Every structure is written in structure tokens, then in C-alpha cells.
Structure 1
Amino acid sequence: MSEVRADRDDTAEAPGEDGAEKAKPRDAHDTVEAAVRAQLSKALGGVRGMLEAAAPVTAFTLTFVIVDEVKPAVFAGIGAAVVLLLVRVLQRSNPQFVLNSLVGIAIAAFFALRSGDAEDAFLPGILLNAAYAVGLTFSILVRWPAVGFIIGSVTGDPTAWRSDPGIVKLCSRLTWLLVLPCVLRVAVQYPIYVAAGDQSGLLGAAKIAMGWPLQVAGLAAMVWLLARGRTPIERPRT
């Protein structure tokens, strides 16, 4: 019996070069695809995070359409963000995504209140998407695709992934999937913004429709692309 127990112990352990068992980190991933899926989901905050980002804009737009005044619409948008923040605080959960939406609606409110034009509340979002599109595209063109740094955050080496052309190519494709929603938002919303007349209602509808639904579509495309491969992650030896 003692011999069987000893054999079982030998097969259960996987000693390293120094003879000690090296435990695998709880958040470790075996493949590049699994790591990117997990990190992207975390970055977007899941369904709740995306809904929290859309709620203040929705409150602002609906209030303005109903009352046709900027100030009540601004208060409604900020109020929605504050309520969501209080819920997060009471639940003792991560308020990061609510804070992001609160900062976003506050900047939009500043633009709208300064000019008195509700359309100006949507200008910061258009400019931000344009900046993201340019920055992400540049990262691809210089062969430092932004998604690649997700790999670096998992392996502990922020740049080692660049030595593998296959990983660089995968990260470039994934980064293009982040660029596309930004380009679409600018291509649709900017012409509406510069059009004659009050376009705030149409801008609000476009922003809501191209907000979290477009993020979900982009994430689904990424998951589909990632599900096709199993690129092993090479971690630096210690």
C-alpha cells in the first residue's frame, strides 16, 4: 500500500528544475486567445459595464426630446450616472465603469451648457472616437498593435509578444476590430452633427444605437476570431 501511495504522489506532482512544484497562477491562461478573451471582457466591464455607459446618455437624450431644454437634460444624465455610482458603492463593487460614464457625461454637459446647444453634448464623443481610431490604426501600422499589450500584461513581459509574427498578426486583426466601431461612429455621427437644424434627437439615437450594441457586436467578432486558434503563451522562466 505504501508503494502505491508513493507512486501516486510522484505522478501528481510536476517538479520544476529545482525540484519544487511550481503552482500555476489562478488567473493564468494557456493560450493567447484565452488571455485576450478574458482581458477584453474585463476591459469592457461585461454587459453591466456597457449598460452603465449607455444609461446617462439615454437619460440625457430622452429628457431633451421631451422638454426641449438643455439644463434638465444635463441634470438627468448626471443624475443617472450618480444613481448608478451609489448602487455600485452600496454593493461594494468596482465603480470604474460608472465613473467613466460620469466623467463622460460631465464633459458632454460642459460643452452643452457652454453653448446652450444640446448637439454640442455629442461633440466630445465624436472627437474621442476619432482619436481612438487614429491611435489604434497607427499602432497597427508600426507593428505595435494595441491589443498586443494585453498579452504582455498576462505574460509579465510587455514586449516579448512582438518576437512571434503569428501573435503580432492576430493582435493586428483584433485591433482592427476595435478601430471599426470608432470609424463607424464618426462616419455616421459627424455628418449629423454638422447638418443644419437641431439634430440632437437624431444624434442621441445614433449614439445609443452605436454605443453598447456596437461594442457587443465587436466583442462577438473578436470571440469568433479567437475561437479559431490556440496559440500557446510562452512565459519567461524564473
Structure 2
Amino acid sequence: MTMTQPDRHRRNDQPAAQPRTALDHAGGPMGIVYSTIPVIVFVAANAFLSLTMTIGISIAVGLALTGFRLLRGEAFTSAVGGLLGIAAAAGLVAWTGSAKDFFAIGIWAALAGFVVTFGSVLVRRPLSGVIWNAVHGGAHRWREDRVALRAHDVATLFASVVFGARFVVKEWLYLVDATGWLAFAKIAMGTPLTVLAALVVVWAFRRTTRRLVEPARESD
């Protein structure tokens, strides 16, 4: 009984916890809607209204979305984080006077993400593995296990490809002043690719847990 009960408890806990990780990265089931509405509103308003009015409408939509998310019981930091992102993008547009700068922060964030993730693989400390080890108390020698290290190389490289593709495509559209296509690229390369990257990271997490954590529990 002492051996089967922890095993049964582990099997019940882990499958329920790890799928939520992918949903958290994606922003939940409504993540696509939340990330799409402000972009569509900004581009549509900018086509017919002055830049000042477009900024005002974008902020109003951000406030409305934040209120709606809070009413649905979402975490305060998640709901307000979306509003801060819209406010920062709108503030940059107001400062530069160029509508395409609504997407500038996201473009440079993608470049930063690529540098961090790809750089972590080059120094043999893939970021997903570092995060996995931190979540599990930082006590596992995961880099000495070739299978675990390879899994985190794959997961982190996948994330770096996502970041790199976002930067290359959006930066090119930014340079040619294609604001409408920037909106399309942000939507198409946003939440859907985040979901895929999160699933690969969850796969790496599970594989490492099966190799390093579960055998230790079974031996106790």
C-alpha cells in the first residue's frame, strides 16, 4: 500500500497540472480573442479616424477588455497586463506620431526573446531546462542526462524559432510601412505559435520529470 498510494497520487496530480501550463502560456481559451481585438480595433480606427482618436479608442477598448476579464474572475495581473501592453503601444504611437509604432514594442520583444532562448542553447543551458529545474527545487543534474538535455534543446530552439520568425517578418513589414499587414502578422504569429511552443515545452518538462523525478520517488 505504501508504494501504490504515492504512485496513484502522482498520476492523479501531474496530468491535471501540466495541461494548465500550456493554457497559461496561451492566455486561456479566450487568449486569441484578447490578443486580436485591440489590434483589429487600432488598425480599423486608424483607417478612418485621426491618430489621436485612434489612440483614445484603443485605450477605451483596453479598459473595457480589462473590466470584462476581471468580471469573469481572471487573475488581476493577467487582466491588467493586457491593458498595460495596449497603453505602452498607444503611448509610443502618441510620442512618435506613427501608427506602425503600435507594433514596435512587440517587434523588439521578439528579438530579445530570440537572443535569450537561442543564446541559452549555445551555452548549453537551454532556458526551458533551467526553468524546469527551478520549478523542481534546483536540485536535479538535468544537464548530465543526455535525453533530458536534448529535450530541452529542442523545446528552447523551437521557442527561439518562433521569436526569430516573428522578428524577421514584423521588422520587414515595419520597414516597408505595411501597418495592416503588421496587424495580420501579429494575429497569425501570436497566440497560435505561442500554443505550439508551450506544448513543446510541456513535452520537454514531462520527459525530464519521467527520467529524473519519478525514478527518485519510486526508490524512496
Equivalent pair of 2:128/2:156 in contact (CA under 8 Å): yes
Equivalenced residues, count: 215
Structure number having the greater helix percentage:
2
Q: Which amino acid aligns with 1:161?
A: W
Percent identity, aligned pairs only? 27
Equivalent pair of 1:53/1:100 in contact (CA under 8 Å): no
Partner of 1:206: 185
Listed as ranges, the matches of 1:72-83 within 5 Å are 72-83=53-64
Shift of residue 14, structure 1, vs aligned partner: 0.8
Cα-to-partner distance string for 1:82-110 (whole Å, 9 max, x where unaligned): 21211222233213333222222111112
1:134 to 109, 112, 115: 115
Q: Which amino acid aligns with 2:34?
A: E
**2:164 is aligned with 1:183:** yes
Partner of 2:87: 106
2:37 to 46, 52, 55: 55
Shift of residue 154, structure 1, vs aligned partner: 4.2
Equivalent pair of 2:26/2:191 in contact (CA under 8 Å): no
Distance 1:118 1:39 in 2: 34
Q: Which amino acid aligns with 1:64?
A: N
Q: TM-score, structure 2 length as denominator?
A: 0.79
Equivalent pair of 1:57/1:105 in contact (CA under 8 Å): no
Cα-to-partner distance string for 1:92-149 (whole Å, 9 max, x where unaligned): 3213333222222111112110111101111111111001000110111111111113
Superposed CA RMSD in Å reads 3.4
Distance 2:91 2:112 in 1: 20
Could you list the runs of 5+ residues in structure 1 that have no partner in the other structure?
1-12
Q: TM-score, structure 1 length as denominator?
A: 0.74
**2:67 is aligned with 1:86:** yes
Could you list the runs of 5+ residues in structure 2 that have no partner in the other structure?
none
Partner of 2:105: 124
